[in-house]
Amino acid sequence: MTVAVCAVDVGTSGTRAAIVRADGVIVRSARRAHPGTAGGGFDPAERWRLLAGLLREVTDGLREPPMALGIAGHVGCVLADDAGDPVIEGASWSDARGIDLVRRAWAGGPARRAGGDDARRPDCGEGPERGPEPGLERALRVTGRPELSGGAVPLLAWLTENRPEVARKARWALSPKDHLILRLTGVAATDVTSAAYTLGFDVAAREWSVPLIEAAGVDPGLFPPAYDASEVVGAVTAEAAEATGLPAGLPVVAGGPDGTAGAAAVLGARTDVIVDVAGTTDVLNRVLTDPGGVAAGVAVLNPYVMPGLWAWGGPTGMTGGAVAYLHRLLGLGDLAQAPPELTAAMARLPPGCAGLSVVPLVSGSRFPDWRPAERGALWGLAEHHTPAHVLRATQEGAAYVVRTGLDRIDPHATMPVLLAGGAARSAELCQLRADATGRPVLAGAEPDASLLGAALFALAGAGVYADAPTAQSHLATATSRFEPDPVRADQHTGLYERWLRTRASLPA
């Protein structure tokens, strides 16, 4: 008997489904791109139809059914009614609606409390260590955020004030992958890491913060139970089985955010490296055993997808996705189909790209700056520059964005970077990351880190392995080490400092 699970990775640009063996080998897989929508939103119903088709494709003709299903998904928000249908377009991580409302409410300004009209400061906990802090600072400490960002709590606060007829229809506030789990199982559930991105979760206690949610004027009952990533939350219903080809009764685990799932696949429970899952964006994480051992307001603190651990870091803004975007903008088509001569021309360019620099943050920045209004920029363009210069400068800019996060997590640059995801497929890009960040890079041989993260959650949930760390040890793949070249690393340090100064001078 072949032991295998079904794994799903719902990324920003597309969804992939696969059958994965217990040793981490992907037996079969299928992927579909997501249709683009204005403003970064998405159609949750279309996502469900797309996933159902992918699942039918990967399960068609299987001799033995999978033992469980796990999902990793990008950060965002889906508001669903009692029937599980979306009541509004799905919101991306960068949706800034309601942030100012929550800021005023948590700072003690006027806010409408769910079920009442009284203003209320957030009572985030007891004890003298929290008492003297202003309400907003206390709230940010509880949520593990250095600054307010988008999430389900701000979105619901905005809808309550501006579109109350929509807010009244909502029964559940879910992440994109949680909504798919609801369609698969009929059960509303989330995981503790995704819950942290709502801005209504106490990350140290790993539970919902009812006082914070109520202080924002939002009903805490909209948020489902939060589980560890490998816990079984439901089973595939007969209706979903007919739509997807999965067996009815198949266990479904809680899963987690795609970046953190990718981190779990390559990092496991290690605390001695920083993991960078590089795709459309780069997600940086350092695993901690004690959530109180970090300075507040420096990075994002989340419950990790493995019990008893936390992750410190966060997702950057657009990095790899900006390279793909500019490739299309230049009329060169799909980056995956880039001609070898273009790739070779980019690799031959020296650091600095003959004076051309790029900030790739076309959709705003997240960790470590959390500036959703920031936009991309290109400067130094001259007649001698070619598309190769533009794309290489964007790769350098992406590496510099990552360096800002690495330097925030590990200011003394003592920890190597474990690189996974799309950038890890290219030895040349791995070397660029080592040179541009000044750190050794350990490149994971498996590019499908988030998909394997979803698989390890399912393998642990199905009882194939005792727990998620044990599952990860059986999926672990070899790594290649790239040391910074001393000459190029020194050049990049000067270029990076100039890049930082120019970026700081741009409007945000």
pLDDT of residue 300: 86
Nearest CA-CA partner of 20 in 29, 9, 33, 31: 29
Residue 486 has pLDDT above 50, yes or no: yes
Instruction: Give residues with Cβ within 8 angstroms of 438, minimum separation 6.
Output: 403, 413, 484, 489, 492, 493
pLDDT, mean over the chain? 90
Question: Residue 336 has what pLDDT?
Answer: 82
**What region does 220 belong to: left with phi over 0, alpha with psi -120 to 50, or beta?**
alpha
H or E, element range at 405: helix 387-409
Please choose, from the candidates 101, 242, 229, the residue with its C-alpha nearest in 3D space to the C-alpha of residue 175. 229
- Position 236: which residue type? V
Query: How confident is the model over 135-166, as pLDDT tens digits?
Result: 999 999 999 998 888 899 999 999 999 999 99
User: How far is the C-alpha of 307 from the C-alpha of 256, rounded, in Å?
Assistant: 13
Please give the Cα distance from 270 to 204 (Å, whole number).
Answer: 19
Q: How many residues does the chain have?
A: 508
Parallel, antiparallel, or unpaired: how do β-strands 274-278 and 256-257 relate? unpaired
Q: What is the pLDDT of residue 112?
A: 46
Distances from the Cα of 20 to the Cα of 2, 26, 183, 246, angstroms: 10, 4, 22, 14
What is the tally of helices (H) and strands (E) in the chain? 17, 23
pLDDT at 94 over 90: no
User: Between residues 114 and 301, which one has the greater pLDDT?
Assistant: 301
Q: What are the φ and ψ backbone dihedral angles of 405, each rounded to 5 degrees?
A: -70, -40
Q: What pLDDT band is residue 134 in, cutting at 50, 70 and 90?
A: low
CA angle at residue 498 from 327 to 504, to 5 degrees? 85
Q: What are phi and psi of 339, to 5 degrees?
A: -65, 145
What residues contact 404, with CB distance under 8 A and at least 6 apart? 368, 369, 500
CA distance 203 to 288: 13
Domains and CATH numbers, the chain: 76-174+190-223 (3.30.420.40)
pLDDT value of residue 126: 40
For residue 1, the model assigns a pLDDT of 62
Mean pLDDT of 393-421: 93
465, amino acid identity: Y
Least confident range of 125-134, 392-401, 462-471, 491-500: 125-134
Using CA atoms, how far apart are residues 294 and 301, in angstroms rounded to an integer? 9
Query: Contact at 8 Å (CB) between 441 and 482?
Result: yes
Span 168-218, pLDDT tens digits: 999 999 999 999 999 999 999 999 999 999 999 999 999 999 999 999 999
Res 36: pLDDT: 66
Distance CA 89, CA 95 (A): 11
Does residue 84 register a pLDDT over 70?
A: yes
127: left (phi over 0), alpha (psi -120 to 50) or beta: left
Query: DSSP string spanning 107-165?
Result: TT---PPTTS----------STTTTTS-HHHHHHHHHT-SS----HHHHHHHHHHH-HH
Residue 226: helix, strand or coil by DSSP? strand
| Helix (H/G/I), strand (E/B), else coil: 481 | strand
Predicted local distance difference test score (pLDDT) of residue 113? 44
Q: Which residues are paired to 443 by β-bridges?
A: 419, 480
Q: Letter for the amino acid at 345?
A: A
pLDDT digits (tens, 9 = 90+) for 96-114: 899 999 999 999 854 444 4
Q: What is the reported pLDDT for 368?
A: 87
Whether the Cβ atoms of residue 477 and residue 24 lie closer than 8 Å to each other: yes
Q: What is the dihedral of CA 43, 45, 48, 50, to 10 degrees?
A: -60
Give φ, ψ of 306 to 5 degrees.
-115, 135
Residues 6+ apart with CB under 8 A from 477: 24, 266, 444, 445, 446
Helix (H, G, I), strand (E, B) or coil at 499: helix
The enclosing H or E element of 285 equals: strand 281-288
Beta strand 377-379 with 357-359: parallel, antiparallel or unpaired? antiparallel
User: Comparing 45-49, 251-255, 299-303, 463-467, which segment has the lowest mean pLDDT?
Assistant: 299-303
Separation between Cα atoms, residue 195 and residue 208, nearest integer Å: 8
Residue 370 — very low, low, confident or very high, per pLDDT cuts 50/70/90? confident
Q: Reply yes or no on whether the pLDDT at 127 is more than 70.
A: no
| pTM for the structure as a whole | 0.81
- At 342, the amino acid letter reads L
Encoded tokens for 54: 């992918």
Provide mean pLDDT across the span 346-365.
Answer: 95
What pLDDT score was predicted for residue 421? 78
